[in-house]
Structure 1
């Protein structure tokens, strides 16, 4: 009897292992997701799209992105009815599925039809319930969509990587840079890399500041502006003598909590301008608490592209900055 019991346990264990392998194998067969950067496929009946439900979807998921000029939505929406959502259409990277149903649910599902993929599902018995579900899930869904879009952009970087080491040499950190970026300026504790784009350029600057910088929460935004303006005056000249990059005077930057490279940080979004010259554009800045190295690390991306939509340019810069890795803490801490 003991022998039979042992055989039964071994058979059950083997079956469990086989089932797990089969599940993993099936998961690995998911096709790769598709879609343009920052695009969202909205699956819902045309009647819902044309009414109050569609208005709420556009209000939440196509809201203006922060600090872009000209104004541009955070996501580009493409609506299709449910009967069209089949075959290759289901491989879209970011999907919002909205439907009238006997159930009332609002949640985000991962890798259902493709990998990577996020599908936000909102169902309700009435329009009011669906609208409430969209409001409830909106922030979580946008965060999920943005994460999968960032990952897709970062994956694209791997096709052709830069061999530049200036940022690591000066600051002891690594960024995954596409090969199109070039070092434009390298000085002690300051690096500027950029790439050319139609009608302009995309830029990243990196430097460190003392750990005790920004001691007052009440003046945090003003102190950020002072820092940016001083760095711009010292390192980022404008086209004419005496001109330099500064923070747009008419618009205070937006500040959000963030985490970059495993460190707590402040995310700052705003508009830059050239002091004394008609040039301006959006910037994204991360101020990172690098306690192991007893400093604050500052990474900033900014774009110059007149009369051009800049959302995807800024999104690429964000994706680059979010590849941050601290490569040599001991050496930097001892400097």
Structure 2
């Protein structure tokens, strides 16, 4: 296929290489070879999981990925090898003769890989580290702590992604993810960073213009800043009323999927918000926000965890990242005076 020098440069993903077609083609080949190796190992792991789990759905549950991802991986493997590895029926999957031979080879290769990784796990952390984190918490807390981590581990290159959606570590190719709230994926390992409370707040300007609610039910007469899907459950605000936990549904004229946006509009006087304390407490100290209904405050069950794949817990750069941030949040920064 005939492609331009510019296209080859973009595909190679390199900087500082002369715009020489030969050099760029070699760089592009090296990139593709690296990707091909990763894909082959991933296909082997998925194929092995299908055999061990006894089916595609069971393998998907074991790996924590979608069933279509498992099917596509095995189909791609069979196309690349040019043979059928599994006899499929509506109820069972059975290895073909070629599948039995390939499974033995997969076991040998993956065991050798694990042995090789074990030999270097005690070495200095280095290499690429892909991290996913919630947008508001990542911007407000993790970014502030990253310079210290990068200074301590100069050979680690962090690829930092902010998203309020829960990424799939395998399918989306992440090493670790920071998660808020209850953990849903039992296939992942986790370490708790800290607990996180939420506080009902409003700006002095909003309260001057609209008055101050004195009970949770009084929120019905106020504009509240609320969440869009998939976080609509946060629009049920918990309060202790007459010794019982009750949840009050709130409404308003502005909704968003982004906590930072809601926070900024709250400070601007648009409405009342139930805000995470890492943003609320500093804003209260500055006088930008005022806490509301403290006598009805209910203890939140939100916790911050870092999650990772079980088989990668001893990789030096992953272990270093987790240990570093566990130490950072041992005493949460927003609780310090």
- TM-score bin, normalised by smaller chain: under 0.3
The higher radius of gyration belongs to 2
Alignment TM-score, normalising by the size of structure 2: 0.23
Larger RCO (CA within 8 A; separation ≥ 6): 2
Q: Which has the higher helix share?
A: 2
Alignment TM-score, normalising by the size of structure 1: 0.24
